[in-house]
A and B are shown apart, each in its own frame.
Chain A
């Protein structure tokens, strides 16, 4: 049986990942009012790119078997490059799966379908290139940092601290940027009313692209960090997080940045509190919360109730 402190540590670090995930959905949702279902696939891409960046070789089952970069980058550099790669990939997703529908003024349902398709194509291309096997990032990726710290009987892994740190920094920077900067306020204006924002001289297409790039960056960073923390379980591992991230998103409230954080922490802590002999049921926790919140408070913990106008 884990101590309470251990449960808190594990729960908060997993919750931080869920929060980053939900935040990635939230960025796109708050601008376009739709969910990018390809987000989980970008998370997978980020993990694989980080793995390649630190010098990992492709396993024997992939089409690229045995291939590796000629050099091994330090983990932070590889992680940032992977984040940048995912930002570019998400811009591509926007250009293919979202922009044509936006031009046509299509219904939100179609965005779900096309982005789901983009995610499936991406994940299966990764599967063809890398094979279905799992990959582990080298344990010494964090250099001289000790892998495990001990605090009052709880084991805290350095990578868990790093996850928390990245999550906290991203949350803080994003909140300040959204509330204080011109660009952030322009993004909020577009999310409030795209037509009015355009009349006020805001390039709403550029804002949409910005939100996709930022959201891709978040997916890439969290993918690389989780890859280091718990290893890459195969091309579909991002989809599993992506589905749970949807639960977190609805729990926190669609489009709410603090809601994403709160939802992530609630689900992470609840999962960590599931006793060991029931650990198989852990994966259902996020979805149980989802149904509970839809019953009790459909707008989510911190979301605004939708207003429909005729």
Chain B
């Protein structure tokens, strides 16, 4: 595999890590990031192969269509997140984790059994908007920078503080006037949109798309990104996504052990490194310019 495409996959991993991080920053575990990514990917795959159907007249898939896909994927993912979140996030506790597992499974079953989405084989020959991996690299990097900047603004924003308050003690936050339902819903919606946008770009990049993208394995993998990187600072899941996507490629000889390693990360991470690798304490120790450190810490 050429290095360019490994870098693209690492950026996809970083974006998915951020998508899991957002609800977790409000104390909610969503396992539906791969599900929303799958939805985004299908929007791209269906729109570009069935609706646009440009028939090879142009060498590259036009960018305005790509933008349309991104907008449509974001809207559909947000709607889906509201359908799931409105009933579930009124409840406290672990219901979101269970409901997002249910959402993944329902999506998988529906996609596998619908001929419109290509059934079990999925959709092939998704057109390329960019000539080489460099284009994808730029697009994903732009998305990651935008998402990272948004998280950075959030860290100092009242909404971000409300999220942290809900994470630390939802009952206490509610008593202090934080609308915890609204905060959790916003975080979950943002997570869904980010995953779907990533899915659009991933579907074009992989050239083919099927329901396996949203499997239980994928939920485990994306969760490992955040547990490894840490969920206190947005840089954590980005680092987790980058490193844990590259790791299996670098450790090729290990082969089948990929999921054992990710499982061990999820099992032992919260026990040994409760805050992940990127912690506020680590940033204090790193030789960073004082201004950077102040900005990165909440």
Chain A residues at the B interface, C-beta cutoff of 8 Å: 34-35, 96-97, 100-101, 106-110, 112-114, 116-121, 123-125, 127-128, 236, 239, 243, 246-247, 250, 280-281, 283-284, 286-288, 290-291, 294-295, 298, 306, 308, 310
Would you call the interface of chain A mostly helix, strand, loop, or mixed? helix
In the complex, A295 Cα to B262 Cα: how many Å?
Answer: 34
Contact of B105 among A100, A123, A128, A283 (CB under 8 A): A283
- Find out whether the CB atom of A101 lies under 8 angstroms from the CB atom of B271: yes
**Contact residues in A for B84 (Cβ distance below 8 Å):** 291
Contact of B109 among A118, A124, A284, A306 (CB under 8 A): A284
**Contact residues in B for A283 (Cβ distance below 8 Å):** 105, 109
Q: Does B149 make an interface contact (CB < 8 A)?
A: no
Most buried by B among A120, A124, A298, A308: A120
* B 244-263 binary contact with A (CB < 8 Å = 1; else 0): 00000000000011011011
7 contacts between A and B (CB under 8 A): A34-B94, A109-B97, A116-B266, A120-B262, A124-B263, A295-B87, A310-B175
Distance in angstroms from B226 CB to nearest chain A CB is: 9
- Find out whether the CB atom of B113 lies under 8 angstroms from the CB atom of A281: yes
**Contact residues in A for B257 (Cβ distance below 8 Å):** 124, 128
Nearest opposing residue in chain A for B168, CB measure: A107
Distance in angstroms from B215 CB to nearest chain A CB is: 9
Nearest opposing residue in chain B for A35, CB measure: B94
**Contact residues in A for B106 (Cβ distance below 8 Å):** 284, 287-288
Chain A-chain B contacts (Cβ-Cβ < 8 Å), number:
125
- Find out whether the CB atom of A291 lies under 8 angstroms from the CB atom of B102: yes
State the 3 A-B residue pairs at the shortest beta-carbon distance, nearest first.
A117-B267, A117-B266, A120-B263
Q: Does B123 make an interface contact (CB < 8 A)?
A: no
- Find out whether the CB atom of B29 lies under 8 angstroms from the CB atom of A124: no
- Find out whether the CB atom of B220 lies under 8 angstroms from the CB atom of A116: yes
Contact of A294 among B29, B95, B175 (CB under 8 A): B95
| Given known A-B contacts A117-B265, A243-B216, A310-B175, A290 and B102 have beta carbons under 8 A apart | yes
- Find out whether the CB atom of A246 lies under 8 angstroms from the CB atom of B267: no
Would you call the interface of chain B mostly helix, strand, loop, or mixed? helix
Interface size on B, residues (CB 8 A): 45
Nearest opposing residue in chain A for B265, CB measure: A117
- Find out whether the CB atom of A110 lies under 8 angstroms from the CB atom of B99: no
- Find out whether the CB atom of B91 lies under 8 angstroms from the CB atom of A294: yes
In the complex, A43 Cα to B220 Cα: how many Å?
Answer: 19
Q: Does B66 make an interface contact (CB < 8 A)?
A: no
Contact of B270 among A106, A125, A128, A284 (CB under 8 A): A106
- Find out whether the CB atom of A113 lies under 8 angstroms from the CB atom of B29: yes
In the complex, A125 Cα to B264 Cα: how many Å?
Answer: 11
* B 82-101 binary contact with A (CB < 8 Å = 1; else 0): 00100110111111011101
Contact of B266 among A106, A113, A295, A306 (CB under 8 A): A113
Q: Does B54 make an interface contact (CB < 8 A)?
A: no
Q: Does B227 make an interface contact (CB < 8 A)?
A: yes
**Contact residues in B for A127 (Cβ distance below 8 Å):** 256
**Contact residues in A for B27 (Cβ distance below 8 Å):** 107, 109
Nearest opposing residue in chain B for A239, CB measure: B216
In the complex, A298 Cα to B90 Cα: how many Å?
Answer: 10
Q: Does B112 make an interface contact (CB < 8 A)?
A: yes
- Find out whether the CB atom of A120 lies under 8 angstroms from the CB atom of B88: no
Distance in angstroms from A270 CB to nearest chain B CB is: 14
Nearest opposing residue in chain B for A109, CB measure: B29
Distance in angstroms from B90 CB to nearest chain A CB is: 8
| Given known A-B contacts A114-B271, A310-B175, A294 and B94 have beta carbons under 8 A apart | no
Nearest opposing residue in chain B for A132, CB measure: B256
- Find out whether the CB atom of B105 lies under 8 angstroms from the CB atom of A97: no
Q: Does B67 make an interface contact (CB < 8 A)?
A: no
**Contact residues in B for A236 (Cβ distance below 8 Å):** 216
Q: Does B283 make an interface contact (CB < 8 A)?
A: no
**Contact residues in A for B227 (Cβ distance below 8 Å):** 113
**Contact residues in A for B121 (Cβ distance below 8 Å):** none
Nearest opposing residue in chain A for B170, CB measure: A308
**Contact residues in B for A288 (Cβ distance below 8 Å):** 106
Distance in angstroms from A244 CB to nearest chain B CB is: 8
**Contact residues in A for B110 (Cβ distance below 8 Å):** 281, 284
In the complex, A114 Cα to B93 Cα: how many Å?
Answer: 16
